[in-house]
C-alpha cells in the first residue's frame, strides 16, 4: 500500500512521517515518533490507555488513523510537564495522592483529566468519575485517581486541597 507523508504538531514540535492509510495514530506516535508513554490496552476502544489530546479533544488514538491527524495539534504524556521541567499540577496530584500503582493507565488518565479540568475547572466528584469513565484502571480502584484530580483542581484554582472525610 502506498505510503502518505503526514505532518503534525506533537508536544509543540513539528513532526513528520510516512504512513500507510491503515496505520493507527497510536502506532505512529509509539513507533514512528518513539513516544511510548501512550499505551495500548485493548482492541475494542474501551480502555482509554491510548488517550491523547488532539485539537482540544480527548481522543482514543487507537481508533483514528494517522492520516486523519494531518495538520493537527497533539499532546501526549511526554508533553504535559511544565515548561521548566517541573511536574504539572496533575502529575503532582497523581504522585502525592498515590493515583497509580502499575502506571499503565496513567498517561491516558492524565491526558483525559487535563482536558476535563480545562472544560470544567471545579468538577464535583461525580463529574470527575463520569469524566474519566472512558479510562479503565485495573489496579487502583479509582479512589486515589479521583483524589489526584481533586488535588490538581485545587492547585490550579489556587485553593487548599481538602481531602473529603471517608
Partner 1 sequence: MIPGPFSYHRPATVADAVKLLSTLGDEVRALAGGHSLVPMMKLRLATPEHLVDLHGVAGLKGISRKGNTVVIGAMTTQHELLASDEIGKSLPILHETALLIADPQVRYRGTIGGNVANGDPGNDMPALMMTLGASYRLEGASGARDVAATEFYQGAYFTSLEPGELLTSISIPVPAAGHGYAYEKLKRKVGDYATAAAAVVLTMADGKVATCAIGLTNLSETPLLATDAAKAVIGTSLDPATLKKAAAAAVAIMSPAADARGPVEYRKHVGGIMVMRALSRAAAGAR
Ligand X SMILES: Cc1cc2nc3c(=O)[nH]c(=O)nc-3n(C[C@H](O)[C@H](O)[C@H](O)COP(=O)(O)OP(=O)(O)OC[C@H]3O[C@@H](n4cnc5c(N)ncnc54)[C@H](O)[C@@H]3O)c2cc1C
CA-angle at 124, arms to 82 and 99, nearest 5°:
50
Whether the CB-CB separation of 51 and 59 falls below 8 Å is answered with yes
How near is the Cβ of 25 to ligand FES at its closest, in Å? 10
**Which of the choices ligand FES, ligand X, partner 1, none does residue 122 contact, using the CB cut-off of 5 to 8 A by kind?**
none
Instruction: Name the helix (H) or strand (E) containing 70.
Output: none
Instruction: Name every residue whose Cβ is closer than 8 Å to that of residue 69 and which is 6 or more positions away in sequence.
Output: 6, 8, 25, 28, 54
DSSP string across 9-35 = EETTEEEEEEE-TT-BHHHIIIIIS--
Is the Cβ of residue 100 or residue 116 nearer to ligand FES in the bound state?
A: 100
Residue in 35, 31, 36, 9 with CA at minimum distance from that of residue 20: 31
Letters for 76-115 (x = contact with ligand FES by CB under 6 A, - = none) are: ------------------------xxxxxx----------
Among the listed residues 46, 95, 98, 138, the single contact to ligand X using CB under 6 A:
46
Is the Cβ of residue 45 or residue 82 nearer to ligand FES in the bound state?
A: 45
Site membership for partner 1, residue 62 (CB under 8 A): yes
How near is the Cβ of 159 to ligand FES at its closest, in Å? 27
| CA-to-CA dists, residue 3 to 9, 73, 137, 154, angstroms | 19, 21, 36, 46
Distance CA 103, CA 66 (A): 25
- Binding site residues, ligand X, CB under 6 A: 45-46
- Binding site residues, partner 1, CB under 8 A: 1, 4, 20-22, 24, 27, 40, 43-46, 48, 51, 57-60, 62-65, 67-68, 112, 116, 130-131, 133-135
- Binding site residues, ligand FES, CB under 6 A: 40-42, 45-50, 60, 62, 100-105, 137-140
Amino acid at each position: 500500500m502506498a505510503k502518505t507523508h503526514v505532518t503534525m504538531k506533537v508536544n509543540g514540535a513539528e513532526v513528520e512521517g510516512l504512513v500507510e492509510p491503515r496505520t493507527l495514530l497510536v502506532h505512529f506516535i509509539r513507533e514512528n515518533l518513539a513516544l511510548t508513554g501512550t499505551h495500548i490496552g485493548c482492541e475494542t476502544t474501551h480502555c482509554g490507555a491510548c488517550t491523547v489530546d488532539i485539537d482540544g479533544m480527548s481522543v482514543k488514538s487507537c481508533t483514528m488513523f494517522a492520516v486523519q491527524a494531518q495538520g493537527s495539534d497533539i499532546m501526549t504524556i511526554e508533553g504535559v510537564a511544565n515548561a521548566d521541567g517541573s511536574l504539572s499540577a496533575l502529575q503532582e496530584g497523581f504522585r502525592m495522592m498515590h493515583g497509580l500503582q502499575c502506571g499503565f493507565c496513567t498517561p491516558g488518565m492524565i491526558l483525559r483529566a487535563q482536558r476535563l479540568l480545562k472544560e470544567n475547572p471545579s468538577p464535583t466528584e461525580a463529574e470527575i468519575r463520569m469524566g474519566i469513565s472512558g479510562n479503565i484502571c485495573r489496579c487502583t480502584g479509582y479512589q486515589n485517581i479521583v483524589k489526584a484530580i481533586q488535588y490538581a483542581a485545587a492547585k490550579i484554582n489556587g485553593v487548599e486541597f481538602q481531602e473529603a472525610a471517608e
